[in-house]
Each structure stands twice: as structure tokens, then as C-alpha cells.
Amino acid sequence: MAACSIHHIGVGVRNEEVVREVLSAKLGFKEVAFRDSWCDHKVVLKRSGVTFVITSCKTAATSADGTDGVTAFEYPDFSYSWRQPSEVEDNGIRYTDLNVADSVYEICLEVDDVSQVLANAISAGAEVVKPFTEVNGEDGRISYAAVRSCVGNIIHTLVNTQHYRGSFLPGFSSSQAAQSEANEPDDLIGEVKLDHFAFGVPFGKAIDTIRWYEKVFGMPRRLLSK
């Protein structure tokens, strides 16, 4: 069985400030890192052992023939299109509709062997979003890959960070807020932990979903009630 734990949860949002306010002011999460790229802005919020990555996409347009714009670029490491866009064409320009609902789109799992879990996913028929990749930075290296879940628009990033010492992942910068609050005590009592994730699936699809996760991640079925 492939040992794994939840590394972080990625949430795609339209209004980053509102979500940050809820997580920080009301739930005690603190900003620890951020990254700005051509396609999105990411903010990493953490409390105890729970980490959220809030992603806001940037408006983009491509020419109708796909020769320039976003289709000419590769997404940077740890960035994916979280929306399932509709597109409209106007005077030869194809615009991506960003008016979609906020949603959890990424469940990143820390695994012992990225290549093995990736092989399991491929054998289960999973779509590979990012092939096995090693990323080196000044704080060390990580290996990662990404596959599309059998559920909705969920992407599972698979990471192994045992040789990495940075604040989050390569390419992310430690935020000034994190540096200034490093020695400040947490005002909220108690630890916060995330011990599972749950999916709502169409009627009749539960068994197939359970079998997929058993095969790919070695997650055994546990009965909550009889």
C-alpha cells in the first residue's frame, strides 16, 4: 500500500481577499508563502498541520488559431487550470470565461514513492496532468506528478518533499507576514488537523470511485455505519 497523507488543499477562487479574510481572521490561518505567475496568483495559508493554497486565475485570451496567448505557454510547476471553462469567440479572439463557482480543485498528497503511485494511477486509467518531475531549488529538491481524479475536476498532485527544507514548495516565496509572525504565539488554542476528504458522487458511482482510490492510493474501504 502506498503510504500517503494530505500535503495541502488547493482552492480556486474569484475573490481571493474574501477567502483569505475568512481563513485568517475567523479561523486563525496565517499566510506563509505566495507565488505570482503569468497564469495565476497563489497564497499559502497554514494553521497547525492544515495547509490551504488559494489560487486566483488571471484573465487570459488566445488567438483563435492558438498560435499565441496561454496556449503557447506551459503551466508552471504546481499550477493547473482549476476551472472547466466555456469559451466564446469574438472577432477572431477566443476568451476564457472565468465566471465559474469557487471550488476545491486540488488535493495534494505526500507519498513515499511518486513514480509508483503514478504507475498505479496510469494502470487505473487516470489522465496524467503532469508526468514525473523533479524540481530543484535553493532549499532542496522534490519529486512530483499530477493525475486527474475519477471525480469531477479534482486533480491529485503527488509530492515527495523529504529532501526539501523550504517554507512550502520550490518557486514559492516566504511571505513577509510569515517572517514577522514566526515568533509570535498562536492566539487560538488547540491544533487543527485534516484527517479525510469527502466526495459527493452521482447515484451508482460510489463503488467505482472507492475501487479507483483503492487501486491508485491503496486506500482501504472503511465502513462508517452498518
Of residues 146 and 3, the one with the higher pLDDT is 146
Domain ranges of the chain: 4-83+96-184+204-217
pLDDT tens per residue, range 173-200: 998 765 555 445 555 556 677 777 888 8
Q: How far lies 70's CA from each of 64, 67, 131, 182, 207, in Å?
A: 11, 9, 20, 37, 38
Q: Specify whether the CB–CB gap between 170 and 33 falls below 8 A.
A: no
pLDDT at 19 over 70: yes
Return the number of other C-beta atoms located less than 10 Å from residue 13's C-beta.
18
Residue 195's nearest CA partner among 212, 177, 219 is 219
Q: What's the pLDDT score for residue 70?
A: 41
Answer whether CATH 3.10.180.10 is correct for domain 4-83+96-184+204-217: yes
CA distance 55 to 35: 10
User: pLDDT (tens digit, 9 = 90+) per residue, 98-141?
Assistant: 445 788 899 999 999 999 999 988 988 889 999 999 988 789 99
